[in-house]
Amino acid sequence: MTQAVEAYRGITATEEFKYLEILRVRARHDEAQAMSNARKKGEESERKKWQGVVAEKDTALAEQAALIAKLQAQVKNQQ
């Protein structure tokens, strides 16, 4: 068991192992950052989509209000 622990310490002390561990840490960080950015981008695109839906709905309601006002004016003129 002691030999195994000493062998592990010998491996982890090498520059190559340290470099590989740094690369693993960077890769995990980059992956986490990419996932976070993708999530934020998805939220942003979803928000923009719903803003477009609301804008279309507002436009439709404004057109309906204008048409109702026009029809009410026509009815008033016929009386």
CA triplet 67, 71, 76: central angle to 5 degrees? 150
pTM above 0.85, yes or no: no
CA 26 from chain centre, in angstroms, equals: 22
Phi and psi for 8 in degrees, rounded to 5?
A: -60, -45
Ramachandran sector of residue 65 (left: φ over 0; alpha: ψ -120 to 50; beta: rest): alpha
Predicted confidence band of residue 46 (pLDDT cuts 50, 70, 90): confident
In the predicted model, is pLDDT for residue 64 greater than 90?
yes
> 79: helix, coil or strand?
coil
In the predicted model, is pLDDT for residue 69 greater than 80?
yes
**Dihedral over Cα of 27, 28, 34, 35: its sign:** positive
